[in-house]
Amino acid sequence: MLLQNKTIAIIGGGPGGLTLARLLQQKGGTVKVYERDLNRNVRTQGATLDLHENSGLKALISANLLDTFKTRYRPGAEKGRVLDKAGNILYDEHETSGSEIDFDSPEARPEIDRSDLREMLLDSLAADTVVWDSHFASMVQADGQWEITFKNGKTALADIVIGADGANSKIRPYVTEIQSSYAGITILQGNVENAKTKAPRMYELLNGGKIYTHSEGKYLHISAKGDGSIDFYVSSKTDENWAKDNSAIFSDRTQLNEWFKTTFTAWNSVYFELFENVDLPMLIRPQYCIPFDQTWEAQSSITLLGDAAHIMAPSGEGVNLAMLDALELCECLTNPKFEDLQTAIAAYETPMFQRAAEEVTTSCEMIEWMHGDNAQEKLINLFKEMGE
């Protein structure tokens, strides 16, 4: 077995890294996950995620976690409404079908809050698998192992390092010099707690699901969460330095409200509920993507998965791709047909490159149509085709 007497260090405790840890432990692997968060409860874990039959759900099935997932997913949360800027409902998925998910269907898109998915994966791991407060600083190779140093001064040794540390991966430079480039859009992300009280009209419009509004080159995506909050983001085409030049606006309530009223002139007041009650500061996230033709030479003791390997603008596939990467990497590392680790890692990376290239192409195409003049019409037609 390639992993016999090998210690595996996964840098990053997101869905991809935790899925990989679970899968490797099922195969007898010795795994540690090093996560920069101080503990499992220190940080809010974003909005809802929809898992797909041929990727995220496939990984959960291999991890023997599908039954647990079925107790935690949110029926009906995948249903959306398309609204115009005046607040009129143009298309309503709530009227098209029931709320139960057919998990045997290729079209299944069950939703789960990111925090619930993380908790489920954490609970599936052996005790002490995750080493908290482990913010990666550097690593060097010594005597056939990686010596990893963290910002708290602690160190760890590993035979294999997996970079699962997201868009700003600190492990990626040890694998490749290829850098991502600005994708042309910036996302503002915010959360409104206790939405039923603070944003009652928007809460009612959401009906436990999602809202999509495209207008004037802006895309507003709103999601209800299981904790009673609303998560939302605004995506628009901006200069790469826009976030840096305007960061002060989104940590000050007065400036934020003035910016919203100026930027969203003629939008219905129901949207004001979000910005007037959002927790501050809002997150400002310029979006980046990898080159279409990204490849590198496989190494014998290090590789990447998820956003660390193939960052791209949101396309609905990010977490799903990370979990599929985890599944395929585990299968390669534990497959007895491979004679050495470098061959196994190369077998994982080759289809990962192709998959990422196809998805980054889709992602760039989505940027164009989602911020175009006829985005609303295209989205409605897409929903209708999916419904049929």
Residue ranges at the known binding site for FAD: 50, 114, 307
Dihedrals phi, psi of 348, to nearest 5 degrees: -75, -45
Q: Residues annotated as binding site for NADPH?
A: 43
> How many Å apart are CA 368 and CA 153, to the nearest integer?
45
> How many Å apart are CA 379 and CA 212, to the nearest integer?
9
Q: Burial level of 143, CB count in 10 A (0-12/13-18/19+)?
A: exposed
CA angle in degrees (0–180, nearest 5) for 353-356-362 = 145
**CB within 8 A of 209, min separation 6: which ones?**
76, 77, 78, 79, 80, 81, 93, 94, 223, 224
> How many Å apart are CA 151 and CA 163, to the nearest integer?
17
**CB 310 within 8 Å of CB 291:** no
Q: Residues annotated as binding site?
A: 43, 50, 114, 307
Token pair of 220, please?
């507003």
